[in-house]
């Protein structure tokens, strides 16, 4: 499964993929598609709005002059998926850099039960006693975490430069 397909599954789910595979090309009207395909109108709308939220679809509205009802005419733009993936990679890279910075610039303590990780300041405030289980807190070496984060950051940075 390629990255673009995985991204679509993440935002619209497998059911959404099945829906967009049945959509005709060009501009569509959700009610017409529901009638033609026997797919639940709410599932179609949910999928289309999720695509819209991720800039992979847009719509125009038309008001029916007699009834005042709005009709949505949808156009799907899956050609935008690469730019959306680039944005997602940049978000991930930003978050990983922030986490790496946090791991590098802090000292952590935990108990033998691994209830939670405490920053040095918090551990000192509790006299190095775990507030969850009352066991002693010990220094936690996070060098493996720092190494993994550094590797992932450099991996993503090199992939974005290609």
Which residue is associated with the tokens 């005419």? Answer: 73
Q: What pLDDT does 96 receive?
A: 97
Q: What is the pLDDT of residues 84-126, one digit of tens each?
A: 999 999 999 999 999 999 999 999 999 999 999 999 999 999 9
Alpha-carbon span 128 to 82, nearest angstrom: 49
H-run or E-run covering 2: none
Q: What pLDDT does 2 receive?
A: 84
Question: What's the whole-number mean pLDDT along residues 140-145?
Answer: 97
Q: What is the largest CA-CA distance in the chain?
A: 75
Which residue is associated with the tokens 């995985």? Answer: 6
Q: What is the pLDDT of residues 49-82, one digit of tens each?
A: 999 999 999 999 999 999 999 999 999 999 989 9
pTM of this prediction exceeds 0.85 = no
On the question of pLDDT at 162 being above 70, the answer is no
Q: What pLDDT does 71 receive?
A: 92
Structural domains of the chain in order of their starting residue, each with its CATH number:
3-76 (1.10.10.10), 82-161 (no CATH)
Output the CA–CA distances (angstroms, integers) from residue 74 to 45, 80, 133, in the order listed.
10, 15, 56
Judge whether 30 and 44 are in contact, CB under 8 Å: yes
Q: What pLDDT does 159 receive?
A: 81
Output the CA–CA distances (angstroms, integers) from residue 71 to 51, 63, 109, in the order listed.
18, 6, 59
């Amino acid at each position: 499964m390629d990255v673009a397909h995985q991204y679509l599954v993440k935002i619209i789910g497998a059911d959404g993929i099945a829906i967009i595979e049945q959509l005709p090309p060009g501009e569509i009207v959700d009610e017409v598609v529901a009638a033609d395909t026997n797919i639940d109108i709410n599932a179609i709308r949910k999928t289309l709005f999720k695509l819209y939220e991720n800039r992979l679809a847009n719509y125009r509205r038309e008001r029916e002059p007699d009834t005042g009802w709005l009709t949505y005419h949808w156009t799907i733009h899956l050609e935008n998926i690469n730019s959306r993936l680039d944005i997602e990679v940049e978000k991930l890279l930003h978050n990983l850099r922030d986490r790496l910075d946090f791991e590098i610039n802090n000292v952590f303590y935990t108990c033998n039960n691994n209830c939670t990780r405490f920053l040095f300041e918090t551990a000192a405030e509790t006299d190095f006693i775990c507030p969850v289980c009352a066991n002693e807190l010990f220094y936690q070496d996070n060098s493996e975490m720092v190494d993994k984060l550094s590797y992932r950051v450099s991996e993503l940075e090199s992939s974005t430069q290609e």
